[in-house]
A and B are shown apart, each in its own frame.
Chain A
Amino acid sequence: MAGAASALFLLDMKGRVLIWRDYRGDVSAGQVEKFFSKLIEREGDPSSHDPVVFDDGVTFMFVQYNNVYVLTAARQNCNAASMLLFLHRVIDVFKHYFEELEEESLRDNFVVVYELLDEIMDFGYPQYTEAKILSEFIKTDAYRMEVTQRPPMAVTNAVSWRSEGIRYKKNEVFLDVVESVNILVNSNGQVVRSDVVGALKMRTYLSGMPECKLGLNDRVLLEAQGRATKGKAIDLDDIKFHQCVRLARFENDRTISFIPPDGAFDLMTYRLSTQVKPLIWVEAQVERHSRSRVEYTVKARSQFKERSTATNVEIELPVSSDATTPTVRTSMGSAVYAPEREALLWKIKSFPGGKDYMLRAQFHLPSITAEESTPEKHPPIRVKFEIPYFTVSGIQVRYLKIIEKSGYQALPWVRYITTAGEYELRMI
């Protein structure tokens, strides 16, 4: 049995109910408040707690966003994965409506919130969670006067993610290929694990019901077509598509064809688990000269081709929480001590490939240590960067065709970028 939610709650940071919608009448707001404030009291920070909690016959699943908790309560044996995902969809819907989801925006717009809660779920079963579609029949104050009293066609037709009659003067599509590199290097300098998570992010401004076809340098496809691959084709490990993509088509002949939703969405995500050479390598030597002085010697090296350049590089070097009076010298970029993050932040605006940069820093430590010293945490060095016009996987968009029955010409814009995801290098 699928399992339905009993109610949906929006709570503030103290666990008090801001707004809730009762779907099945078997959980009370008091029960939730009591439980949740107890949880906050006990845990201090519920975000470190499992997002699924059981209390007295009721399962609570929650997600924190800014200063709001979005929570469902259920008495049935429901599907955890789908409920948690649903909560995230709810957050997306609110974000679409109020720019930002936070306590204030909910308080200011409680009428719309109620309206939305009424449509996204009925009797505990998720119904419509596409913000674009909902916004056609639930308007915020500004547009209130034009409210339609007719649910849009999309609610009831087969293409549930796009409604008919969309019009743009200029038809454009923006396609961003974003790859984020996750890497973990252990204290011996070995790459323990690495993978690349890629996403094709699209923003469409297209009229009507356009048919799109996307061609990638997918090895399987190119080989099937009998073309020479010449090392340019790529193997994608695991691909996930937005619900608009015709999966059966892809299974048959690897064509990615779809009618896109209006606006921004992730067309597809993929993962590569091949060993990736760390794009930016950081080595840190920490020397304690005496009880009260510590010196860092850090070398950062870019390990990609010279014609690419990493931008907005930020290297976060963990520093003991009681360090004082830093003196820093860098061969490039600037470094600031950020006590609130217990780290030294080394920022390099532009870091071309094949270069080495150095940083030296010195800190003073209090000569007396606290008696009740908490165990040291040893966080890793973390690196953030962006490398435009470059992908680790070598994925290429070969074409993006847009066909609409009115026959307009649409402009596709394609961009590539590689960013650092979870990029961690453990210190010795």
Chain B
Amino acid sequence: MPPAASQRASSTSSPSGKGELAELKTQLRQLAGSRAPGVEDVKRELYKKVISYMTIGIDVSPLFSEMVMCSATSDVVLKKMCYLYVGNYARVHPDLALLTINFLQKDCQDEYPMIRGLALRSLCSLRVQNLVEYLVGPLRSGLKDVHGYVRTVAVLGVLKLYHIAPIACTDNDFPAMLKQLMLHDGDPQVMANCLCALQEILTQEGSNIEEAGLDKDFFTRKPIIYHFLNRIKDFNEWAQCLVLELVAKYVPEDPNETFDIMNLLEDRLQHANSAVVLATIKVFLNLTMSMADVHQQVYERIKAPLMTLVSSGSAEQSYAVLCHLHLLVMRAPILFSSDYKHFYCRYSDPSYIKKLKLEMLTAVANENNTYEIVTELSEYAANVDVAIARESIRAVGKIALQQYDVNAIVDRLLQFLEMEKDYVTAETLVLVKDLLRKYPQWSQDCIAVVGNVSSKHVQESKAKVALLWMLGEYALDMPDAPYVLEGFVESWTDEDSPEVRLELLTAVAKCFFRRAPETQRILGEALAAALADAHQDVHDRGLFYYRLLQHGVESAERVINPPKQAVSVFADMQNSEIKDRIFDEFNTLAVVYQQPSYMFLDKEYRGPFEFSDDASTNASATESSETMLAGQRVDASDNDLLLSASEKEYTKGVVATNGSSSYVAPSSSTMDGMGVLAAPTQTSFPAVGFAIDDLLGLSLHTTPPEPAPAPPPLVLNAKPVLNPAAFQQKWRQLPVASTQEYTLTPQAVANLTGPQALLRHMQAQLIHCIASGGQAPNFKFFFFAQKSDASAGLGYFLVECIVNVTARKCTSNYKTDESNMLESFASIFQSAILKFGS
């Protein structure tokens, strides 16, 4: 407090700092040795004054020695004030802190446990490096104190010591003592604090406490987990959260054990403390990760407690719970689709809650509830505050893009335009534009209404861009398009946003290709204005158009106004890799921020649980962790391979065993190297090549990339043999050779009610499935195929194929030991999967 707060002291009306302090100083001096009756009361008043100065930010450190001198007292409150004072100034005056050691040490041996505890806590909180030697003795006796209160304080004292001087802490065998206490102390709070302290010490980088029998896996071993589970009811609510957090990391040996743990913890879901309930939910989710059907039952089971927590308690608590519910809803919208009414907003909900609810309403929309949800959303668009109205309109749009009941939704959107509120119009225009990009067939209805929107009501640049795009694109359907554009061109100089000017230029050009006679004049004006524009991009585009048109109108049209293809899928904002990471950090801030913790935490606060030991080389990290854990983890990761809802990046050296959070937080170097976060799907070389071609606008149809010397035609083995273990091994050994993404036909999606249908289809194409899993809309398959003339154990192609039914997207990761044939195989695979359902 002192440095920052003392600055403020000068601004607040300080009680004439110096004089008062001097007076206090003399008064304290006089009292120091006095044993007169009633002296305690006087002291208390003086101390109170000092503390109150300290609280309002006046630097009272000059009184340090006097305060310490007066500290010889038996009055608890006086002592507390003194400890507080000392704790505040010790760090900035380490030399003075030495003065306090004596009396603090003495108090640590007081006959009253309360005083022993308080003194020990203050002693450990001094945070002065060179006083560490005085800490060890009192801590050691504190840990052995007969009274639980002192032991609880001492345990955390050890942790404090570790933060100042890790070596001193380990050299004195404190971790081993904590371990003993944790296992054998009768006081639950002592045990809980030991758990905190040891876990935190373990997460510190380079903590070396193996000789105490504590290694990184110590807490995820069965005896420890059972030790805490059996006592969970003795702990207070906060400590229960800690224990549950620990259990969530445990990987049970077999399903029976999983069920035992879940039965034991079932009643925790009825705890009034929302943190306990959430922690229990995390345990349930993590334990059942490899059992798809049970996992789904868990979702059903936790729904009711979650909904109750949301609707009771304070807004802040419901927010925290809603963030978690949000995550679950996003993972499995289908499971929540009948509970959509719980996500309706109340008038008095704060906007941060409304926002989350809107997102959830969007996510759970399906054929059955779309009408009601959209009706409800429309009420928000008209009713509540502007920010939420905007969000609700966007939500309506998102639902429309999910193609449920589009007809009704388009009507709604058009009604919004009729409300003639600027912000409603603005949002709606943006949405109508997106809708038209996806469903050009709706143009008739939309354009008729959009044509009626007065450009005066459109103020926001995003909305203007949308309107201009439609004017350009649908100039033929809107009789007055050229004249509206003319109005825009005339006010060119008043337009602040370069995006709008860019779009205006393009819109005028497009309009010109469609209705040349009416537009020619304004195109000239627009080009002139663009050439004179101060913004570089606008200027360049103007020049570019001008020269294109000079070169020939037809070729200009080919560039500026090529035939459009409907957009099938809008880019997903967040890739599933990140979503999985967040899910692994359930019940932490990661869920609230919707970001994995490595994205927001400072490096030193992450801890090695989230860090790989050897992040520099991914390959070696994979190997080391694999050799170390191979025995115990193969089974688990086997299950995981098949059932995790979305892909994990195996190339990154992640042995993704559910529950153990040994994920790699990519250091910046690895992130650059892989670009996983930036480019979620196209990581491999051929794919990148396409992307660049596309970027340059060189249509793929005109210049197909020349394949390298044509490889001999690939013939697949009709009956390849590969057992799961061998597949597993190959999958681990081989790098991802290629990643490709296909859009499935609607028929394919319709046929994909379960994994079986696709399996049979692929088998007919000589591509065999070794494992599949997931529930709609996400399926995951592992396929393999073998070259017909390959020798045994060679010539395999392995494919991990993730299908998202709602997005009609299919992402395939190829691995092979026959890389020169990969391309042929990929094309076989592609044609096979695209033929599915036809």
Contact = CB atoms under 8 A, between A and B. Distances in A.
A1 B203 contact: yes
A242 B241 contact: no
A29 B320 contact: no
Interface string B598-641: 00111001110100000000000000000000000000000000
Contacts of B188: 158
B652 to A, nearest CB: 20
A426 B379 contact: yes
A52 B270 contact: no
Interface stretch (A377-385, A389-397, A400-408): A377-385
Given A123-B156, A193-B342, A377-B383, A240 B321 contact: no
Contacts of B346: 182, 184, 422, 424
A3 interface: yes
A237 B307 CA distance: 10
A239 B268 CA distance: 11
B493 to A, nearest CB: 26
B199 interface: yes
B114 A81 contact: no
Nearest to B245: A2
A78 B81 CA distance: 30
A77 B352 contact: no
A426 B5 contact: no
Name the interface size band of chain A: 35 or more
A193 B607 CA distance: 45
Nearest to A21: B84
A271 B152 CA distance: 38
Contacts of A197: 308, 311-312
Contacts of A359: none
Given A75-B605, A156-B147, A380-B347, A111 B51 contact: yes
Given A49-B352, A77-B589, A87-B316, A250 B76 contact: no
Contacts of A424: 346-347
Contact of B273 (A3, A57, A85, A378): A85
Interface in A84-139: 84-88, 110-111, 114-115, 118, 122-123, 125-129, 137
A111 B421 CA distance: 55
Given A76-B605, A87-B316, A271-B312, A240 B305 contact: yes
A88 B342 contact: no
Contacts of A378: 382-383
Nearest to A57: B602
Contacts of B597: 77
B588 A3 contact: yes
Given A125-B238, A377-B384, A54 B272 contact: no
A125 B196 contact: yes
Interface stretch (B229-237, B448-456, B785-793): B229-237
A294 interface: no
B304 A84 contact: no
Given A1-B200, A126-B238, A48 B48 contact: no
A128 B152 CA distance: 11
B266 A80 contact: no
A84 B319 contact: yes
B589 A123 contact: no
A379 B383 CA distance: 7
Contact of B589 (A19, A80, A242): A80
Interface string B312-331: 10111101110110000000
Contacts of A4: 196, 200
A238 B189 contact: no
Given A123-B156, A241-B270, A243-B273, A193 B344 contact: yes
Contacts of B112: 149-150
Given A1-B607, A240-B270, A144 B77 contact: yes
B236 A54 contact: no
Interface string B109-135: 000111101100100000100000000
A373 B112 CA distance: 69
B149 A80 contact: no
Interface string A3-44: 110000000000011111010110011110100000000000
A251 interface: yes
B421 A137 contact: no
Contact of B236 (A61, A160, A195, A248): A160
Interface string A167-203: 0000000000000001010110000110101000000
A81 B48 contact: no
A155 B149 contact: yes
B160 interface: yes
B3 interface: yes
A85 B274 contact: yes
A206 interface: no
B267 interface: yes
A325 interface: no
Contact of A79 (B241, B307, B347, B352): B241
Nearest to A30: B4
A29 B600 contact: no
A47 interface: yes
A342 interface: no
Contact of A110 (B52, B189, B383): B52
A28 B319 contact: no
Given A52-B592, A111-B51, A247-B268, A271 B307 contact: yes
A77 B601 contact: yes
A46 to B, nearest CB: 11
B51 to A, nearest CB: 6
Contacts of B383: 377-379, 426
A25 B268 contact: no
Given A156-B148, A195-B311, A63 B113 contact: no
Interface in A145-172: 147-151, 155-156, 158, 160
A155 B70 CA distance: 30
Contact of A80 (B114, B311, B592): B592
B317 A85 contact: yes
A241 B51 contact: no
A266 interface: yes
B434 interface: no
Contacts of B267: 247-248, 250-251
B350 interface: yes
A185 to B, nearest CB: 11
A271 B311 contact: yes
B153 A122 contact: yes
Contacts of A84: 314, 316-317, 319-320
A29 B1 contact: yes
24 contacts: A29-B1, A30-B7, A33-B4, A48-B352, A77-B601, A81-B324, A82-B275, A82-B279, A84-B319, A111-B77, A115-B80, A158-B188, A193-B341, A240-B305, A243-B236, A243-B272, A246-B233, A248-B267, A266-B272, A271-B307, A271-B308, A273-B307, A378-B382, A422-B346
Interface of A: 1-4, 16-20, 22, 24-25, 28-31, 33, 47-52, 54, 57, 59, 61, 63, 75-82, 84-88, 110-111, 114-115, 118, 122-123, 125-129, 137, 144, 147-151, 155-156, 158, 160, 182, 184, 186-187, 192-193, 195, 197, 237-243, 246-248, 250-251, 266, 268-271, 273, 375, 377-380, 382, 422, 424, 426
Given A111-B51, A156-B148, A269-B312, 13 more contacts: A1-B607, A31-B4, A77-B585, A85-B273, A111-B48, A125-B196, A151-B149, A186-B379, A237-B304, A238-B308, A250-B270, A271-B308, A424-B347
Interface of B: 1, 3-5, 7-8, 48, 51-52, 55, 57, 76-77, 80-81, 84, 91, 112-115, 117-118, 121, 127, 147-149, 152-153, 156, 159-160, 163, 187-189, 193, 196, 199-200, 203, 233-234, 236-238, 241-242, 245, 266-268, 270-275, 277-279, 304-305, 307-308, 311-312, 314-317, 319-321, 323-324, 341-342, 344, 346-348, 350-352, 375-376, 379, 382-386, 389, 421, 423, 585, 587-593, 597, 600-602, 605-607, 609
In order of increasing CB-CB distance, the 7 nearest A-B pairs are A30-B4, A82-B275, A247-B267, A156-B148, A149-B112, A81-B320, A238-B304
